[in-house]
Structure 1
Amino acid sequence: MTEIPSIPSVLLELIVKYLQQNNISNLQLEELNKQYAHQARMPLHKWWNLLEQIYQQHPTPVLGHYIGELSEPHHIHILGYLALSSPSLISFLNCFKNFQPLLQNSASFSILQKEERFCMCWTPVIHKNSQLSNEVLVSGVLSTMRKILHRPDIQPLEIEFSATAPIDIAPYEEVYGCPISFYSDVLRLWLPLEILNLPIPSRDPHLKKLLDQQAEALLKSIPNPDTFLKDLQLLIVNMLKIGEPSAENIAKQMNLSLRSFYRKLSSYNLQYSDLVKSIRLELAKTYLTQSELALTEIGLLLGYAEQSAFSRAFKQWENMSPSEYRKSHRS
Structure 2
Amino acid sequence: MQQLKDYTGSVYGGLGHLLYAYHQANGIAITEKLKNIQNLERFEYVVWRDLLMELDQQLNKPALGLEIAELVQPKHIGIIAYIALSCENLGEAMLRYHDFHRLIFDGSPLQVEVQNDYFSIGWNDLPLNMANQLTDEVAIALMLQFLKHFMSFEDICLHEVHFHNPAPKNVAQYEQYFRCKVRFSQEKSKVILPIQELSRPFAQGDQTLQKLLMQQAQSLLEKLPNTTQIDQRLQQAILMGLQKNLFQIEHIALQLNLSVRQLQRHLQQQGTTYQQRMQEVRCMMAEAFLRDPHLSLQEIALLLGYSEQSAFQRAFKQWRSQTPQQWRQQQTRPHMQ
Q: Is TM (by shorter chain) over 0.5?
A: yes
Q: Which of residues 135, 149, 152 in structure 1 aligns to 2:151? A: 149
Partner of 1:261: 260
Per-residue CA shift, 1:169-219, capped at 9, x if unaligned? 844445433233454457345366166314146364x76455423332355
Partner of 1:284: 286
Shift of 1:110: 7.1
Does 2:246 match 1:247? no
Does 2:60 match 1:45? no
1:131–1:177 Cα change, 3 Å? same
Does 2:213 match 1:214? no
1:73–1:252 Cα change, 3 Å? same
Q: Name the TM-score, length of structure 2 as normaliser.
A: 0.74
Shift of 1:17: 5.5
Partner of 2:72: 71
- Looking at structure 1, the residues matched to 89 and 162 of structure 2 have their Cα atoms a distance apart, in angstroms, of 25
Does 2:10 match 1:9? no
Per-residue CA shift, 1:99-136, capped at 9, x if unaligned? 53332223455766777665445557999744322211
Partner of 1:34: 35
- Looking at structure 2, the residues matched to 255 and 185 of structure 1 have their Cα atoms a distance apart, in angstroms, of 48
Structure 1 residues 162-181: aligned runs within 5 Å: 163-166=164-167, 170-171=171-172, 172-181=174-183
Task: Tell me the amino acid that sits aligned with residue 239 of structure 1.
Answer: G
- Looking at structure 1, the residues matched to 54 and 328 of structure 2 have their Cα atoms a distance apart, in angstroms, of 39
Partner of 1:187: 190
Bigger Cα displacement from structure 2, 61-70 vs 166-175:
166-175
Task: Tell me the amino acid that sits aligned with residue 288 of structure 2.
Answer: T
- Looking at structure 2, the residues matched to 74 and 264 of structure 1 have their Cα atoms a distance apart, in angstroms, of 36
Ranges in structure 2 where 5+ consecutive residues have no aligned partner: none
How many residue pairs align between the two structures? 321
Shift of 1:18: 5.0
Partner of 2:240: 238
1:117–1:70 Cα change, 3 Å? farther
Whether the 8 Å contact between 1:73 and 1:80 is mirrored in structure 2 is yes
Whether the 8 Å contact between 1:116 and 1:193 is mirrored in structure 2 is no
Partner of 2:135: 133
Per-residue CA shift, 1:22-61, capped at 9, x if unaligned? 77x56xx511232123223322111112222333444444
Does 2:271 match 1:272? no
- Looking at structure 2, the residues matched to 217 and 94 of structure 1 have their Cα atoms a distance apart, in angstroms, of 31
- Looking at structure 2, the residues matched to 63 and 276 of structure 1 have their Cα atoms a distance apart, in angstroms, of 46
Whether the 8 Å contact between 1:236 and 1:250 is mirrored in structure 2 is yes
- Looking at structure 1, the residues matched to 322 and 136 of structure 2 have their Cα atoms a distance apart, in angstroms, of 40
1:225–1:120 Cα change, 3 Å? farther
Bigger Cα displacement from structure 2, 114-123 vs 291-300:
114-123
Task: Tell me the amino acid that sits aligned with residue 215 of structure 1.
Answer: Q
Task: Tell me the amino acid that sits aligned with residue 231 of structure 1.
Answer: R
- Looking at structure 2, the residues matched to 301 and 121 of structure 1 have their Cα atoms a distance apart, in angstroms, of 26
Q: In angstroms, what is the RMSD of aligned CA positions?
A: 4.0
1:239–1:96 Cα change, 3 Å? farther
Task: Tell me the amino acid that sits aligned with residue 264 of structure 1.
Answer: L
Task: Tell me the amino acid that sits aligned with residue 102 of structure 1.
Answer: L
Q: Which of residues 269, 280, 298 in structure 1 aligns to 2:300? A: 298
1:286–1:50 Cα change, 3 Å? closer
- Looking at structure 2, the residues matched to 124 and 219 of structure 1 have their Cα atoms a distance apart, in angstroms, of 50
1:216–1:177 Cα change, 3 Å? closer
Whether the 8 Å contact between 1:122 and 1:188 is mirrored in structure 2 is no
- Looking at structure 2, the residues matched to 109 and 218 of structure 1 have their Cα atoms a distance apart, in angstroms, of 40
1:170–1:122 Cα change, 3 Å? closer
Does 2:117 match 1:102? no
Ranges in structure 1 where 5+ consecutive residues have no aligned partner: none
Whether the 8 Å contact between 1:106 and 1:126 is mirrored in structure 2 is no
